[in-house]
Amino acid sequence: MISVWNELRVARTERPHPELEYHPAFYGEEQGRQLLQSLCTQVTWQTDHFMAFGRRIEIPRLQAWYADPGIRYSYSNNLLQTLAWLPELTALREQIELACGHRFNSVLLTYYRDGRDSVSWHTDDEQELGSEPWIASLSLGASRVMQYRNKHQSETGALSLHHGDLLLMRPGFQQHWLHQVAAQPEVDEPRINLTYRLVAMDDSG
């Protein structure tokens, strides 16, 4: 059982402000190393693309989507292949649900092979996530910096996420803030980020 969450708020911000709950070293050091190695080799990683100026461009990272039956997820015209839960991911989901008191039915794995891989400014506001999503983000491997900035004002912030750290993004964060993990060429080790989500059931058949 983990201790009470530490709550981080951006300095100088009044309203709106981000809602972030941070717990360092949530996942054990050696346990996390074993899970990182297992995921790097066992997961069927997917390469996605986006269109820019008429060109099809490969995104600089790999991804995989695990979810309960009937749960689908897409972003930027990319429909992720839904994979059946691995036992390790199910056990981790149960641990995170117990710790933060919220239910999740899916997890997006993002594989940053080294510091050249990145994700640009975005917000996780897809319709499937609902209007006030909770997202639990676990980091494994290399430390990387998550930056965030207000959509409408000049407030910014950054948080260095290390191996085993857990970050809970609460309702309000996606509505008012963008976030990114920029390239850090000096980083030569891999990182896997697991973001547990609650996605609405697909009723399209």
Q: What is the pLDDT of residues 150-167, one digit of tens each?
A: 888 888 889 999 999 999
Torsion from C-alpha of 116, 122, 127, 131, nearest 10 degrees? 130
124-135 pLDDT tens trace: 766 676 677 899
Identify which of 154, 111, 108 has the alpha carbon closest to the alpha carbon of residue 133: 108
Compute φ and ψ for 162, nearest 5 degrees. Answer: -110, 170
Higher pLDDT, 88 or 13: 88
CATH 2.60.120.590 fits 15-43+57-197, yes or no: yes
Higher pLDDT, 203 or 106: 106
Q: Which residues contact 156 (CB under 8 A, 6 or more apart)?
A: 10, 147, 148, 149, 150
Lowest mean pLDDT among 75-79, 157-161, 176-180: 75-79
How many Å apart are CA 152 and CA 61, to the nearest integer? 28
Average pLDDT over residues 68-76: 84
Lowest mean pLDDT among 37-41, 64-68, 78-82: 78-82
Lowest mean pLDDT among 56-60, 84-88, 130-134: 130-134
How many Å apart are CA 201 and CA 187, to the nearest integer? 38
User: What's the confidence (pLDDT) of residue 26?
Assistant: 94
Q: Is the pLDDT of residue 88 over 50?
A: yes
